[in-house]
Amino acid sequence: MPKGVKLKDMDKRLAKRHKRQVARARANVKTSEPDLRTPEQIEADREASRSAMGARGDQPKVAASSRPMRHNPAIATGSAAKTAV
């Protein structure tokens, strides 16, 4: 602590700083907007979402763009094949 600063002054300064931080945080709070859809629209959206899921339920029905890396060990490791010396 600097020589000329007393503990009481330090507490005041920190209190003012905290007050400013709280005021800024409150000013920046974003409130969520209410869902304005009707219950029928919500249910239709749920059904559409369910039909987009795969048979297992955890993966969407989307064609894979590439095979998983584990099926091709030469590509997966990123190293060239070893040659006999």
State the Cα–Cα distance between residues 41 and 8, nearest whole angstrom: 60
DSSP annotation of 53 reads B
What is the enclosing helix (H) or strand (E) of 12? helix 7-27
pTM above 0.75, yes or no: no
* Residue pLDDT, tens place only, 35-46: 899 999 999 999
Confidence of residue 8 (pLDDT cuts 50, 70, 90): confident
Q: Where are the alpha helices (DSSP H) in 28-68?
A: 39-51
CA distance 31 to 24: 15
Top pLDDT among 77 and 35 is at: 35
Angle at 83 between CA 79 and CA 85, to 5 degrees: 140
14 pLDDT band (50/70/90 cuts)?
very high
In angstroms, the Cα distances linking 61 to 41, 52, 66 are: 23, 6, 15
